[in-house]
Structure 1
Amino acid sequence: MITSLVTGGAGFIGAHVSRELLKLGHHVVILDDLSGGYEENVPSEATFVQGSIMDHELLEKLFTEHKFDYVYHLAAYAAEGLSHFIKRFNYNNNLIGSVNLINESVKNKVKCFVFTSSIAVYGGLQPPMREDMVPHPEDPYGIAKLAVEQELKVTKEMFGLDYIIFRPHNVYGEYQNLGDKYRNVVGIFMNQLMQDNPLTIFGDGNQTRAFSYIGDLAPHIANSVNIRETYGEVINIGAEKEYTIKELAETVMETMGLEGKLRFVEARNEVTHAYADHSKAHRLFGTDTNHTLKQGLDKMVGWAKNTGIKKSQKFKNIEIIENLPPLWLED
């Protein structure tokens, strides 16, 4: 039987990729420290291990015990804006933890290492972002993701470890952490609406993003190891159509059937327009009819209402307070 390790499998994207791997007949081992995910997200057919990718001794034990064929590395703290203020935490979790996994993958002859990077590596380049552009990240999160991409390239050259890199963007859907106020704007809006709170928008709300429903991405990420043409490739994956943050807020209210107010706060330092070209993904995976924003939100709403309100927790390990958006100082 094929055995795959999924890091971050109790989190949002990882929970979906794990389910797709189970459909493909893999034995799935999930490693997650539950810092951003929930054990109830873990499919019952998977083997769950609570632990951190920072624990290299635990990784050595798991790789020796399970003889993984594939590694799907989805564990990360994906908060671009906050990453400026949690630099040490960001690089430890998103870079050093990834290196721990790469080391064990080399030593244990893993067949392919699948890594979810981010559109954040492009920074403020002119959209649509293409894989042949020279990356120019503008935040520590994007820098860490790009460093792992580069590490995988040199590891392949030195040790022969095959890899596939995905750059998803603005992904939303079931299992998203509704209580994280620093990332995942769709979940933030839904959680605010259910509490009868105004929807918080940084700046004027005219920033554009192509919001991508997880159900359109997870099957391709899971099955990519079976498509030899994907090996060694960097692949943008996500929705085609971009929307403003104001349009997103209005669509979330419409889909949830709840009327809310918009609260505009001081703009933060972020890329104004970010969406990608997916020509390579279409060539490798075929042209899919992806969910529209409304269709994707329709699928997420029932889950969100059933999950209920999640109390937003203040990040406890902020390292730099200077220039931190005031909203993020609130309890």
Structure 2
Amino acid sequence: MTYTSLVTGGAGFIGSHVAADLLRAGHRVVVLDDLSGGTAANVPSGAHFHQGDICDPGVVDALFAEWRFDHVFHLAAYAAEGLSHFIKRYNYTNNVVGSVNLINAAVNAGTVRCFVFTSSIAVYGHAEPPMTEDLIPSPVDPYGIAKYAVEQELKVSHEMFGLPYIIFRPHNVYGERQNIGDRYRNVIGIFMNQILRGEECVIFGDGEQTRAFSHIDDVAPPIARSIENPRAYGQTFNIGGDTPYTVNELAEAVATAMGVEPRVRHVEARHEVVHAFSSHDRAREILGVGTTSVPLTDGLTQMATWAKKHGPQEPSIFSGIEISKNMPPSWQSVVASD
């Protein structure tokens, strides 16, 4: 049987890799993306591309009526965690209302076998790491709040309408096809772009914040394959890298991968979770994944090779800031954010 699967955000970073994995598995893949963060060139060959906005229920409903999807892989989001404080309306519209449009359509279609949602470890907030799925989420920024709201909506939609779901909470994913020109998110891409532009790597605060970094090859394939495992349905999984690094260590590792001496500049600390990395025991037990197969040094080398070919990008400036109070002054120049 050939399944028809929708991948929202499939012209973006993680979404394009998930779409490619689904195509390799024999799915008929439809990509829905508004190209606000991705590019049509990222859409894998063989996928049907529809440019449109998940915030438009007419677009979403028409697509479900046309294709009668078996699976929905929802990866479309604006994932700038730190910036979300200053773009609340945009954050909740895209990350909550857009998600609800998809959930409504999935329920009404009656054909969806599973709705796979990429959430984030941002839902855990200041919880003590390593964060486990059994912790009660307590997000500290609008991005994490939005992700947790959609998780809860999927659970009540399952209880009320029987919509099957799987939730993933990835963290700090990096790799080929990442938008290195986005100055507000994805610290590895930001560092590489700064190096390509001959600039210093800018770090908020003292750089002793810790994160675990996840190469796309350790994240996209398990998401795509999860629908094949009945034990995964109704579950929430942390997924990604196991080993935490400080941002200072990361800057040195990125410089090494790019073949340059590390040059960093520290700026005023911003409001953020200081230590954030998660346990992957549940993914190991149920999905058979969780141990990092791509070490950070290898993943950075792969991405650096791609980034050098891709070339430096002009850092984008978000034009729809809704609140400027307490916004980090350094975001008026080139900055690094995770």
What residue is the counterpart of 1:327 in the other structure?
Answer: 330
Residues 197, 260 of structure 1: 8 Å contact kept: no
Query: In the alignment, residue 64 of structure 1 is paired with which amino acid?
Result: A
**In structure 1, distance between residues paired with 2:182 and 2:200:** 16
1:155 and 2:195 aligned: no
Alignment of 1:299-310 (within 5 A): 299-310=302-313
**In structure 2, distance between residues paired with 1:206 and 1:290:** 25
For the residue of structure 2 that corresponds to 1:249, the secondary structure is helix
1:138 and 2:140 aligned: yes
1:43 and 2:33 aligned: no
Unaligned 5+ runs, structure 2: none
What residue is the counterpart of 2:130 in the other structure?
Answer: 128
**In structure 2, distance between residues paired with 1:286 and 1:231:** 15
For the residue of structure 1 that corresponds to 2:134, the secondary structure is coil
Query: In the alignment, residue 318 of structure 1 is paired with which amino acid?
Result: I
What residue is the counterpart of 1:61 in the other structure?
Answer: 62
Residues 30, 47 of structure 2: 8 Å contact kept: yes
Unaligned 5+ runs, structure 1: none
Residues 242, 292 of structure 2: 8 Å contact kept: no
What residue is the counterpart of 1:195 in the other structure?
Answer: 197
Alignment of 1:1-331 (within 5 A): 1-109=2-110, 110-287=112-289, 288-330=291-333
**In structure 2, distance between residues paired with 1:286 and 1:140:** 32
Q: CA deviation at 1:261?
A: 1.2
Calculate the TM-score normalised by the size of structure 1.
0.99
User: Which deviates the most, 288-297 or 114-123?
Assistant: 288-297
What is the count of residue pairs matched by the alignment?
Answer: 331
Identical pairs, percent: 60
Calculate the TM-score normalised by the size of structure 2.
0.97
**In structure 1, distance between residues paired with 2:64 and 2:316:** 33
**In structure 1, distance between residues paired with 2:140 and 2:269:** 16
Q: CA deviation at 1:149?
A: 0.2
User: Which deviates the most, 251-260 or 7-16?
Assistant: 251-260
User: Which deviates the most, 18-27 or 253-262?
Assistant: 253-262
Cα root mean square deviation, aligned: 0.9
Q: CA deviation at 1:289?
A: 4.8
User: Which deviates the most, 181-190 or 277-286?
Assistant: 277-286
Q: CA deviation at 1:198?
A: 0.3
Q: CA deviation at 1:301?
A: 1.2
**In structure 1, distance between residues paired with 2:87 and 2:174:** 24
Query: In the alignment, residue 273 of structure 1 is paired with which amino acid?
Result: H
Deviations 1:24-51 (A, max 9, x none): 0001100001111111111121011111
**In structure 2, distance between residues paired with 1:304 and 1:38:** 16
